[in-house]
């Protein structure tokens, strides 16, 4: 699959502050952009996703924005809490049968 | 509803041994896939299947075989284990390959010595 660039690789924020993670993709045919959260020793779990006909989607403290022209999408977490500490992966699919391609992950650390 | 079930949870192999990682889902998903996860590398696709009787290679297929005789099961075979195959393996399934979320199993931690 095509590459997904995910930044930053590590992000440390104070509890209560916001966190933003950005991913850039290369295939203009991509149409589905999920974000996964993985806690230590656990499986990745979907936290939010967005499709190419939508620019923004929100679910309580979590939001995802998509800029198809610039080929990037971002995860925004507001009012961060200790339980937000985890590794977050972006992913995208270009419509092919091979499914999702994942970024390399961002380790989010919430400082008390 | 168990979702995606993987066995075993942990496995230690010697170089050259073979084994099968089991994966089963009870959600009637057509699409199933295997990923490996290595530190700093994210999740890389090994093999995938869009339905019973159909399999194809992903990004890192060498050293692995798969089959899909039923909708529910998608085993991953290591033919001759190598230390480079030490990793955490995740099986996942979804309704379709292109616009639906993946549901992951709990993973298998494999060590090859």
Q: What percent of chain B is modeled with pLDDT above 90? A: 89
Q: What is the mean pLDDT of residues A23-44?
A: 92
Contacts of B50 in chain A (CB under 8 A): 97
**pLDDT for A1 beyond 60:** no
The sheet that has B4-7: what strands, in order across it? B4-7, B19-25, B76-78, B64-66
CA distance A10 to A5: 14
Q: Do B73 and A74 contact (CB within 8 A), yes or no?
A: no
- Contact across the interface for A93 and B59, Cβ inside 8 Å: no
Confidence of residue A30 (pLDDT cuts 50, 70, 90): confident
DSSP secondary structure, B80-112, as one string: S--GGG-EEEEEEEES-SSSS--EE---EEEEE
Residue of B43, B44, B68 to mutate for A, most A C-beta atoms under 10 A = B43
Chain-chain contact of A98 with B97 (C-beta, under 8 angstroms): yes
Instruction: Give A-chain residues touching B97 at CB under 8 angstroms.
Output: 93, 96-99
Q: Summarize the confidence of residues B82-105 as an average pLDDT.
A: 93
Of the partner residues A6, A49, A95, the one whose CB lies closest to the CB of residue B98: A95
User: Which residue, among B31, B39, B42, would best test binding to A if mutated, counting the most A CBs under 10 Å from its CB?
Assistant: B42
Rounded to the nearest integer, the mean pLDDT of chain B is 95
In 3D, which of A64, A2, A5, A50 has the Cα closest to residue A28? A2
How sure is the predictor about A96, in pLDDT bands with cuts at 50, 70 and 90? low
pLDDT at A93: 85
Per-residue pLDDT, B108: 97
**B20 neighbors B77 (Cβ within 8 angstroms):** yes
**Partner B contacted by A93 (CB < 8 A):** yes
pLDDT tens for each residue of B56-81: 999 899 999 999 999 999 999 999 99
């Amino acid at each position: 699959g095509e590459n997904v660039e995910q930044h930053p690789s590590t992000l440390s924020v104070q509890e209560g502050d916001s966190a933003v993670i950005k991913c850039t993709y290369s295939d203009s045919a991509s149409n589905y952009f999920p974000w996964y959260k993985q806690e230590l020793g656990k499986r990745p779990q979907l936290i939010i996703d967005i499709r190419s006909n939508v620019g923004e989607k929100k679910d309580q403290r979590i939001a995802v924005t998509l800029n198809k022209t610039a080929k990037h999408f971002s995860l925004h977490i507001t009012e961060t809490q200790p339980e937000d500490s985890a590794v977050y992966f972006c992913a995208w699919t270009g419509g092919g049968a091979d499914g999702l391609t994942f970024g390399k992950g961002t380790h989010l650390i919430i400082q008390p | 509803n168990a979702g995606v079930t993987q066995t075993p949870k942990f496995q230690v192999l010697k170089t050259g041994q073979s084994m099968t990682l089991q994966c089963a889902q009870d959600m009637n998903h057509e699409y199933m896939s295997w990923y490996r996860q290595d530190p700093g590398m994210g999740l890389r696709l090994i093999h995938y299947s869009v339905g019973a009787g159909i399999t194809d290679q992903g990004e890192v297929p060498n050293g692995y075989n798969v089959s899909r005789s039923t909708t529910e099961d998608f085993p991953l075979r290591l033919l001759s284990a190598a230390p480079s195959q030490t990793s955490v393996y995740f099986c996942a399934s979804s309704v379709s390959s292109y616009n639906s979320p993946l549901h992951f199993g709990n993973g298998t931690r494999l060590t090859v010595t």
